[in-house]
Chains A and B, each alone.
Chain A
Amino acid sequence: MRTLSRRAEAFRPPRFPFGDMTLTLTLRTAFSRARSLVLVGLLPLLTGGWTSGPQSTFETHGPVAKTQLDVFYVTLWVSVILFVLVAAVLAYATLRFRVRSGDLSNQPPPEQSHGNPLIEIGLIVLSIGALVIIAVPTMRAIWYTYDVPEAERANAYEVTATGYQWWFKFEYPQEQIEGSGALVTGNELVIPAGRPVRVNLRTVDVIHSFWVPKLAGKVDMMPNRGNHLWLKADEPGYFWGQCAEFCGESHAVMRFRVIALSEADFAAWLAQQKSPARTVPGTQIGATPAAGTPRVEFASYKYEKQRPNSPGWSEGFDRAPFAAWQQKQQVDAGEKPELIAQGRKLFIEKKCAGCHEVRGHEGAGISGPNLTRIGARTTIAGGLLENTEQNLHRWLTEPNNVKPGNKMWFGGYVVRNSETGAWEEQFSINDDEARSLVAYLHSLK
């Protein structure tokens, strides 16, 4: 269990859900796996390590998720107590009244009793009582989690999240940009920490669901419906989110991130975002790269083509994702202006611009994610892959192998022949082209 021990460093020590008892798994990986298989009866005890992770609903970082967790604990406690009581009686009855001898034919049967109304009614009343205990906090939480509380409404920030097959668009209606409407980003939602955020939920195709477990439970993005949710991050941080409604082939890899920034950082980020796409000095369209550029060596290029979806994570990134995000905001050292210029040219030639917007540059499409600041994102392809050179390179050369069914491949790289119905290649990206495109995209900070 490599992950277990590794994660023990990466995250807070796993917490045992039934109390304050902390149970850190220090056992050797293989040993622990073998044990958990043998000691089935003790599974719950061994599962302390299973309540912690990037999408754990136990590690809440905001009042909405906290409220929901509290309700969960109430239901959990009531259930556990009732279960222990009833199961104990059941176990007692089973053991106590068991007959060991197989043959009962000459034994008189037990008394043929038919019931006892008093016990029945007593138990019914008891059950109702238990349910009331659950119902009261449930009702309170339903109203609390529904919308930003009245008192905080003035302070609330508003964003609109829109689901696409299979990525998320985020709009900032409060941040209007001269000439191009509201600020738009994709797949990574940046919010102010400590402020309630109301997220309007929309979709352009099928039903998706917006779920950031550590901040708030999910609410669906329903076509022709104006759903919304609210959340608040207590502290700045980096949070995992995922689409939680089956939405077709790549539902499993429709992920996103939420980054909460302190008030000052957020303001700075907004200011940066509102400016047009970054242009690296000396990269005019048309400039050709110096001949004979050496092939980029990918030190850790470990993907084989036949693997449709390979690991999208690296340990270094996981250890400090927020720091990695902040790092990403900085301009990369060693930018190659010629390569970038070539990439920018290719971006138009290869029809990328028809689907993607790079505000201030040539792109104007809206059917794909906005790429104005793609270089500053920690992830690509709907939160699936870490935004590294290798991953982006791979995404551009063979998107179909990264994300099954994605609409950049189907409808972009390949299009359907309206007569035969077969998919035919429209364009492809070779390694050299990909390298310059990667350079260009990574220059967009």
Chain B
Amino acid sequence: MQAITKSDFIGKDTAAAEKRPFVFTRPTAKTGLVSWLTTVDHKRVGLLYGVSSLIFFLVGGFEALLIRIQLAVPNNTFLSAQTYNELFTMHATTMIFLAVMPLSAAFFNYIMPLQIGARDVAFPRLNGFAFWVFLAGAIILNVGWFVKSGAPDVGWFGYAPLTSTAYSNQFATDMSTDLWVMGLQILGVSSVVGSLNFIVTIINMRAPGMTMMRLPVFTWMTLITAFLIVLSFPAITIALIALMMDRSFGTSFFEVSNGGLPILWQHLFWIFGHPEVYILILPAMGIISEILPTFSRKPLFGYPIIVFSGAVIGLLGFGVWSHHMFTTGMGTMATAAFSIATMAIAVPTGVKIFNWIGTLWNGQLQMRTPMMFALGFVWMFMMGGFSGIMHSAAPADAQQQDSYFVVAHFHYVLIGGSIFALLAGIHYWFPLIFGRKVSEAWGKFSFWAIFVGFNVTFFPMHFLGLNGMPRRTFTYDGNMGWNSANFIASVGAMILGIGMAVYFVVMLYTYFKGEKVGRDPWGARTLEWSIPNPPPEYNFAVIPTVHARDAFWYEKNHRDEIEREKAKSAAEEESHGGIHMPSQSWFPLLAAMALLTGGLFFTNHNFMGAIAGGVVLFIAVYLWAWEGPGGYHLHLDKDGNPIEPKDGQAHH
């Protein structure tokens, strides 16, 4: 009864297209540059996200290594103060907004639709748009390196009034902060648009039988993350708009001499900023919740509780933002309230840890590379979580805030947490995406190098912080008792860098030359493994019907029943006109490019140019709406290859 096609257009099939105006002839290339520029395939968008975010990860890591070189010895003169400030600002901004978030988005795009048994996301063109806008924001953030004004240098949370025209960068034109504002603003557009798409997709595009409580945990975490994004980004958007108006139009939201209250910026930023850190960790937890069961050959322990605690973390995450502001003199009541609320988050997080251990218990643990990274995640994230709890005790935090203790805390949760999980995810899904498997020996080597390097780098930082070393300092004196810890941290960073380099080289090698593997190499449990690798454009030849939580595990154990069912669904689908596929489009790219140029003009205070960009944006969106979702139908032969229509024109 539910074997209906999952197309998002209602009503008639589009008529033949010969007479359409030229601008609406839709690109049909399946290979080559145009196919990538106009793609609406969630898998290709996922790959685009993945590749660009990994490149940015290397850039951010490179910046980190420069930071560590500068700090290796006291009174170092490797970098100037100005460069150092640019580096840590861009390191953080790059890592958070251009590496971890888009890498998570890459998995959302690639894996999530496969996990729910969908052929695409709800709004394919919007999905492409989200990626191109992301790229536009990334470019704007980074052009500072190449122009006179320099890169942004106000720290990743850009506290007012340091960001005002009066105090930022006295040496050049003060454009760098404008770039930061505009870049984040545009990245926000990308994230919100992308997340709305994911929310609709998960709620509405599930295969028949895939109830909410049967969703794979990764998909659940995608959903919660997407909600966090759409609900937290507005706060920073408003803050950035206010800042932008201060800088460009003479308002005084944060202009101290006219009565502006810089603390308001902090509130607005952290109302976004704290949910943001859960935006960074929840996808990671989702990935871990996929990997542990697979390699333990057991279902996730306490699935409903894991899901529920994820939602609770998301919700509580909105009520703790001021724990970043314990030292701003909020007063006793506010401090106490936020302190308690912050501690409360340990409970749902702990529940997840306990359930992961429960998943291992009595299992058959296969120590494959993804599993190593996943176990590393649990250890390291736990350590980061505990230092988080130490921060949450406000009086103790008075000594820790803005010291290297914080730096240690958040690198434990961000690298030991997010990055470990994302690296695990790359290993885990690599065979699905490229049909090749990474060598275990090299994978494990890179794991150990990263694991050791990471701990050597960041464990000493706890001591540095408690020993009074403030963060964001381009230099320190030799008499403070910080020399050895800093030196060790720098050595660790080099080890970490080598580990990362090995990781990426191995991945590249595997992509070209790695061992080929068949379907389902890990003995996995979720639907994405039920299809051939690499997945065909249409994902599922037949939309699966889901009967149990670990849908693919169930399929593997009920083959006959599933075969019968699939045959029936296939016939039904064919009678509905075949597999519906969305058409490619130029307009997402065009709209994003308009945003890019308009944004660049704006940061240059060239408002005519900005308006022109806006007009082009409007035109692009208009034409986008005009050309309509389009779409075409595929018919498969029995090997699953599309049968080309005779005239070679499958498109409308």
Contacts and interface: CB of A to CB of B under 8 A. Distances in A.
Note whether A and B contact each other (Cβ less than 8 A): yes
Contact of B263 (A98, A128, A225, A404): A225
B353 A98 contact: no
A104 interface: yes
A58 to B, nearest CB: 7
A102 interface: yes
Contacts of A145: 395, 398
Contacts of A43: 455-456, 459-460
Of A53, A142, A205, most B-chain CB atoms within 10 Å: A142
Contact of B399 (A11, A87, A139, A217): A217
Nearest to A416: B170
B396 interface: yes
B261 interface: yes
B14 interface: no
B301 A114 contact: yes
Contacts of A331: none
Given A54-B481, A224-B261, A143 B452 contact: no
Nearest to B260: A224
Contacts of B328: 219-220, 222, 225, 227
A128 to B, nearest CB: 6
Interface in B429-464: 452, 455-456, 459-460, 463-464
A212 to B, nearest CB: 9
A180 interface: no
Contacts of B354: 86, 119-120, 123
Contacts of B394: 138, 141-142
B467 A51 contact: yes
A222 B456 contact: no
In this complex, the interface size class of chain A, counting residues with CB under 8 Å from chain B, is: 35 or more
Contact of B467 (A33, A50, A124, A224): A50
B643 interface: no
A131 interface: yes
Contact of B364 (A55, A109, A142, A209): A109
Contacts of B401: 217-218, 244
Contact of B298 (A79, A104, A110): A110
A49 interface: yes
Contacts of A318: 479
Interface string A57-71: 110000001011101
Interface string A178-202: 0000000000000000000000010
A36 B489 CA distance: 11
A110 B297 contact: yes
B488 A55 contact: no
Interface in A115-141: 115-116, 119-120, 123-124, 127-128, 131, 134-135, 137-139, 141
A1 interface: yes
B147 interface: no
Q: Name the 10 nearest CB pairs between A and B, nearest first.
A: A55-B468, A217-B398, A53-B481, A252-B473, A115-B302, A227-B329, A141-B395, A50-B463, A79-B386, A72-B396
Interface of A: 1, 3-4, 7, 11, 17, 32-33, 36-37, 40, 43-44, 47, 49-58, 65, 67-69, 71-72, 74-76, 78-79, 82-83, 86-87, 89-90, 93-94, 97-99, 102, 104-105, 107, 109-116, 119-120, 123-124, 127-128, 131, 134-135, 137-139, 141-146, 165, 201, 205-207, 209, 211, 213, 216-220, 222-225, 227-228, 240, 242-253, 306-313, 315, 318, 404-405, 410
